[in-house]
Amino acid sequence: MTDFSHIRGKITMDRPLADLTWLRVGGPAEMFFQPADKDDLQSFLKALPLDTPVFAMGVGSNLIVRDGGLKGAVIRMGRGFNHIEVQGDTLRVGAAALDSHVARKAADAGLDLTFLRTIPGAIGGAVRMNAGCYGSYVADHFVEATAITRAGDEVLIGADELQFAYRQSTLPEGYVLTEVVLRAASADPETLHEQMEQQLRKRDETQPTKERTAGSTFRNPAGFSSTGQVDDTHDLKAWKVIDAAGMRGATLGGAQMSTKHPNFLINAGGATAADLEGLGELVRKKVFQTQSIELHWEVLRIGEPVPQK
């Protein structure tokens, strides 16, 4: 029997996860842990049997948890990991700090991380998936990160180890990011805030921001984010090839591809994780059949399906 009596954070068994994801779907976590701080996280991982899988969860913005739930331990970072400290031209940021908060705090200090303003989620997830938009990526600003290994040891990670690529990195299995250092160029604070306001207005005009979504569903086949520039090409954008395949507005159960932006999966009401993932797979199949283009998921899908009776 594992002894967690020294743990200060909260451990919950069979904790439902649907209410913690933006899509509001998914089964329970076998074990759900909210660490009090970094030392508490280390103590927990050291006590947890090494053969127990670990998944670090942010705010659930880019996530489909399957209906059968998640085996092992889900770790959700909270207030002990959301600090944002400006240090010259860098920011030292807790993994749970929201991308939008980091962008605003940076702008207040005259540092340009405006690309983060419209990206849903927290910095830990942004590093893991090398989040980006308007032609900028986390990799462009990344200095280093601190993580706790599966064995409970604290390590420093450089960009070389993460091997950043479009919408991905190679964070070692079982590592839990706790802090990230980002570097940014200087700019006028007022200009930066106005730029972010323009980005928000454009996002609200073109994306279903009032719906239950998980952000962009698939990576752009072109292999890069939108630049936001007038001459930006849309030929190999995910939304464009989905639209061309006739899948704008397509439905499966309670899931729908947005009519406003066809690269957004929506829980239109009562959707299961199986509905959402199934519709995504139908979209991938139709795009390949019609255009010989293979779409790759950007939304992370984890957990177990409900066993068939």
User: With a threshold of 0.75, does the pTM exceed it?
Assistant: yes
pLDDT, position 227: 67
Average pLDDT, the chain: 95
Taking alpha carbons only, the member of 119, 173, 111 closest to residue 143 is: 111
What pLDDT, on the 0 to 100 scale, is given for residue 217? 97
Chain centroid to CA 229: how far? 24
User: What angle (nearest 5°) sits at the alpha carbon of residue 55, between those of residues 53 and 59?
Assistant: 165
pLDDT per residue as tens digits for the range 236-246: 899 999 999 99
Q: How confident is the model at residue 225 (pLDDT cuts 50, 70, 90)?
A: confident
pLDDT at 231 over 90: no
pLDDT higher at 32 or 234 = 32
The residues carrying an active-site annotation are 167, 216, 298
| Angle between helical axes of 99-108 and 189-206 (0-180°, round to 10) | 150
Percent of the chain clearing pLDDT 90 (strictly above): 90
- What is the pLDDT averaged over residues 218-228? 83
* pLDDT tens sequence across 244-282: 999 999 999 999 999 999 999 999 999 999 999 999 999
> How far is residue 23's CA from residue 98's CA, in Å, rounded to a whole number?
18
Per-residue pLDDT reduced to its tens digit, 145-174 = 999 999 999 999 999 999 999 999 999 989
Distances (CA, A) of 171 to 65, 129, 148, 167: 20, 9, 11, 13
Average pLDDT over residues 85-100: 97
